A and B are shown apart, each in its own frame.
With several copies, the nearest count.
Chain A
């Protein structure tokens, strides 16, 4: 019996040793492989969803400049300058793109120094399909690069509202090139770049919240616009001659396309299609709506009539002000920020400007400079981790963001960010204007200004309606 049992036990032991292993051998590897595969599949799917939204956003932001801003500004000038004004926006779609490819992207997002990027991405080296984990881990690096380019295009274009109807085209090109290099790229790096002085999420010394560009985009452009307006001086005949918008209809088209495109600008700044993007989308729309009402209401009380121009000016002011806040604030604070922007910018453009009497032709400063500043500050007030849970301490506990979270000192950081962007814009723009003036002269001769820039600078007319 005993002897009979040995093999049995051997078998038993053998089986003991082998069976489970055997089973695993057949079952597990398969599961492992499928798991690994599906993990990759989920990652790829996540990337597809986020990339779909980010490519759409990039297209929307380009649409903001052309045709959006080109129309908004083009309609506000006199008929004889419509093309030269649209040209300002259009040509930047081309020029900034080339600068960006050569050094711009790298100066804004390369490396991790405090003030400006390095050249690691110059000529778009190392900018491929693989995500740049620092900035947008779920989308191709190229998507992030092209999306950011669209911001670099519209920002200088915003300035052109200040010197419309009187600046030399050649001088404008030189100005914009230098401005991108000296003002925009450094500012973009400081606020959004890794290790940038004001970076909130990537290790900045003075964390400043700017979700989509209150300081980087609107303060820099708006303040530079004021400097340009003062430096170039008034248009011939300003303010005595009538300088009414020649085609408010196209300005309305432009403003509406700006509103629509701004969803790509703000919600796209989430860099994915998450709930944060949705939240920014809502804040953006609410800010625009409240500001349009604010401006029209102010007009109604003040002139007895609300106007279409007031409505579109208001919505743009609101979109500007909500830009830095869009990824940080709840819907009702968004309404408040927008409404405030509508009122404040209305007063700026109609009262303060008249007081000082400078000729900011299309109110680039009144809307973008002031609206951006207001928004940047209010972001410090209303930012809350209930909306943006991206800021945690070492223990993984969510940090309070703005005043409403009990973090009042954030407002100070915001003010520092504002101060730096104002300072950089003023100094940078002055230097650049001086250079342009010396090299090319910034302003067209009086007769050309009288005849209109379309004919004199571009040799063409906007409309030929004679039969």
Chain B
């Protein structure tokens, strides 16, 4: 199994979720993160104190899928998340040694 971890623009979340549902990917976990990269941030000033905000709000999607579906998922996800502008984010892929469904102790792909 593979874990597909994507860091995307927050306002793209709904779109991406729909796209994944479209190809039957239901299980996913989402977290609020802040990202730093090529995308330049913005300036904030509080009573003359200037701050350069270079950590921008992003959303992190994690989903574990069977090896067979990984590519399809990546394609769909990337397509849905793409605006073509700097800051669109990244997708990272990892090996997963085991998956367990807590509810009934299912293991492996059947647990996804």
Direct contact of A and B (CB under 8 A): yes
Among residues of B, the one whose C-beta sits closest to the C-beta of A354 is B48
**With an 8 A cutoff between CB atoms, is B32 at the interface?**
yes
**Which listed segment binds B: A95-103, A141-149, A279-287, A305-313?**
A305-313
Which residues of chain A in 419-467 are interfacial with respect to chain B, using CB atoms and an 8 Å cutoff? 450-451, 455-456, 459-461, 466-467
CB distance from A353 to the nearest CB of B (A): 7
The CA-CA distance from A414 to B32 in the complex, in Å, is 54
Task: Known contacts A245-B46, A305-B45, A455-B42; decide if A466 and B32 are in contact (CB<8 Å).
Answer: yes
**With an 8 A cutoff between CB atoms, is A240 at the interface?**
yes
Contacts of B44 in A (CB 8 A): 244, 455, 459-461
Contact call B48/A351, Cβ cutoff below 8 A: yes
Contact call A244/B51, Cβ cutoff below 8 A: yes
Chain B, residues 34-46, CB within 8 Å of chain A (1/0): the string is 0000000011111
Among residues of A, the one whose C-beta sits closest to the C-beta of B85 is A447
Task: Known contacts A242-B14, A467-B32; decide if A459 and B48 are in contact (CB<8 Å).
Answer: no
The CA-CA distance from A48 to B32 in the complex, in Å, is 58
**With an 8 A cutoff between CB atoms, is B57 at the interface?**
yes
CB distance from A453 to the nearest CB of B (A): 12
Contacts of B45 in A (CB 8 A): 299, 303, 305, 307, 459-460
Interface size class of B (residues with CB under 8 A): 10 to 19
Chain B, residues 6-28, CB within 8 Å of chain A (1/0): the string is 00001100100000000000000
Residue from the list A241, A460, A466 in contact with B46, Cβ < 8 A: A460
Contacts of B32 in A (CB 8 A): 466-467
**With an 8 A cutoff between CB atoms, is B103 at the interface?**
no
Name the residue among A309, A455, A467 with the largest chain B CB count within 10 angstroms. A467
**With an 8 A cutoff between CB atoms, is B47 at the interface?**
yes
Task: Known contacts A455-B42, A456-B42; decide if A240 and B14 are in contact (CB<8 Å).
Answer: yes
**With an 8 A cutoff between CB atoms, is A137 at the interface?**
no
**With an 8 A cutoff between CB atoms, is B104 at the interface?**
no
**With an 8 A cutoff between CB atoms, is B68 at the interface?**
no
Residue from the list A242, A349, A455, A467 in contact with B47, Cβ < 8 A: A349
Task: Known contacts A242-B51, A466-B32, A467-B57; decide if A309 and B46 are in contact (CB<8 Å).
Answer: yes
**With an 8 A cutoff between CB atoms, is B110 at the interface?**
no
The CA-CA distance from A455 to B55 in the complex, in Å, is 13
Contact call A350/B47, Cβ cutoff below 8 A: yes
**With an 8 A cutoff between CB atoms, is A237 at the interface?**
yes
Contact call B14/A313, Cβ cutoff below 8 A: no
The CA-CA distance from A244 to B32 in the complex, in Å, is 17
Cross-chain pairs A/B with CB under 8 angstroms, 11 sampled: A241-B14, A244-B46, A245-B46, A350-B47, A351-B48, A353-B48, A450-B11, A455-B42, A455-B44, A460-B46, A466-B32
**Measuring CB to CB, which residues of chain A are less than 8 angstroms from any residue of chain B?**
237, 239-245, 299, 303, 305, 307, 309-310, 313, 349-351, 353-354, 363, 450-451, 455-456, 459-461, 466-467
The 7 closest A-B pairs by CB, nearest first: A350-B48, A467-B57, A303-B45, A467-B10, A349-B47, A459-B44, A459-B45
